[in-house]
Amino acid sequence: MVLATDSLPFPDEKYLCAALTTSDLPANHEVGDDWIAGRHPDKTSYCSPWVVGTVKHRAIANPQGKITTEFTEHMIDRCEDFLRGT
Protein backbone atom coordinates (compact mmCIF):
# COMPACT_ATOMS: atom_id res chain seq x y z
CA MET A 1 0.00 0.00 0.00
CA VAL A 2 1.51 3.34 -1.04
CA LEU A 3 1.93 5.68 1.93
CA ALA A 4 3.88 8.52 0.31
CA THR A 5 5.25 9.64 -3.03
CA ASP A 6 5.53 13.41 -3.37
CA SER A 7 7.40 13.92 -0.09
CA LEU A 8 10.22 11.55 -1.03
CA PRO A 9 13.55 12.72 -2.53
CA PHE A 10 12.67 11.04 -5.85
CA PRO A 11 8.87 11.43 -6.09
CA ASP A 12 8.55 10.23 -9.68
CA GLU A 13 10.75 7.18 -9.14
CA LYS A 14 10.01 5.67 -5.71
CA TYR A 15 7.14 5.11 -3.29
CA LEU A 16 7.12 4.52 0.45
CA CYS A 17 4.88 1.49 1.00
CA ALA A 18 3.42 -0.66 3.76
CA ALA A 19 2.79 -4.36 3.23
CA LEU A 20 -0.63 -5.81 2.49
CA THR A 21 -1.25 -9.40 3.52
CA THR A 22 -3.99 -11.95 4.11
CA SER A 23 -2.49 -12.82 7.51
CA ASP A 24 -4.58 -11.77 10.51
CA LEU A 25 -1.72 -10.90 12.87
CA PRO A 26 -2.40 -8.98 16.12
CA ALA A 27 -1.05 -5.59 14.96
CA ASN A 28 -2.43 -5.79 11.41
CA HIS A 29 -5.37 -3.64 10.36
CA GLU A 30 -8.18 -5.05 8.25
CA VAL A 31 -8.80 -3.04 5.09
CA GLY A 32 -12.45 -4.15 4.91
CA ASP A 33 -14.79 -1.53 3.46
CA ASP A 34 -11.89 0.86 2.88
CA TRP A 35 -11.24 -0.80 -0.47
CA ILE A 36 -12.35 1.56 -3.25
CA ALA A 37 -11.37 -0.90 -5.98
CA GLY A 38 -9.63 -4.26 -6.11
CA ARG A 39 -11.12 -6.04 -3.10
CA HIS A 40 -10.98 -9.83 -3.40
CA PRO A 41 -14.43 -11.16 -2.49
CA ASP A 42 -13.11 -14.39 -0.95
CA LYS A 43 -10.12 -13.04 0.99
CA THR A 44 -9.65 -10.52 3.77
CA SER A 45 -6.79 -8.06 3.34
CA TYR A 46 -4.77 -6.52 6.16
CA CYS A 47 -2.14 -3.81 6.27
CA SER A 48 1.04 -4.33 8.30
CA PRO A 49 2.13 -0.78 9.19
CA TRP A 50 5.45 -1.98 10.65
CA VAL A 51 6.49 -3.60 7.34
CA VAL A 52 7.52 -0.58 5.28
CA GLY A 53 9.99 0.04 2.50
CA THR A 54 10.62 1.93 -0.70
CA VAL A 55 9.48 0.47 -3.99
CA LYS A 56 10.72 1.69 -7.35
CA HIS A 57 8.11 2.82 -9.85
CA ARG A 58 9.38 0.37 -12.46
CA ALA A 59 8.87 -2.54 -10.01
CA ILE A 60 5.12 -2.00 -9.84
CA ALA A 61 3.58 -4.24 -12.47
CA ASN A 62 0.02 -4.99 -11.36
CA PRO A 63 -1.47 -2.62 -8.78
CA GLN A 64 -4.02 -4.50 -6.65
CA GLY A 65 -6.50 -1.69 -6.27
CA LYS A 66 -7.21 1.50 -4.41
CA ILE A 67 -7.80 2.14 -0.68
CA THR A 68 -9.45 5.16 0.94
CA THR A 69 -7.40 8.17 1.95
CA GLU A 70 -8.72 7.82 5.51
CA PHE A 71 -7.35 4.27 5.86
CA THR A 72 -4.05 5.32 4.32
CA GLU A 73 -3.74 8.25 6.76
CA HIS A 74 -4.50 5.91 9.66
CA MET A 75 -1.75 3.52 8.52
CA ILE A 76 0.69 6.44 8.25
CA ASP A 77 -0.14 7.32 11.87
CA ARG A 78 0.33 3.70 12.97
CA CYS A 79 3.64 3.47 11.07
CA GLU A 80 4.81 6.60 12.86
CA ASP A 81 3.77 5.05 16.20
CA PHE A 82 6.00 2.04 15.48
CA LEU A 83 8.91 4.28 14.49
CA ARG A 84 8.54 6.38 17.64
CA GLY A 85 7.92 3.38 19.90
CA THR A 86 4.55 4.64 21.10
Domain with residue 57: its CATH number is: 2.30.30.110
Alpha-carbon span 44 to 19, nearest angstrom: 14
The domain of 73 spans: 2-84
Total structural domains in the chain? 1
pTM summary value: 0.88
Mode of pairing for the β-strands spanning 2-4 and 14-21? antiparallel
Residue closest to 33 by CA, chosen among 68, 69, 3: 68
pLDDT in tens, the chain (86 residues): 999 988 888 888 999 999 999 999 999 999 999 999 999 889 999 999 999 999 998 888 888 899 999 999 999 999 999 999 98
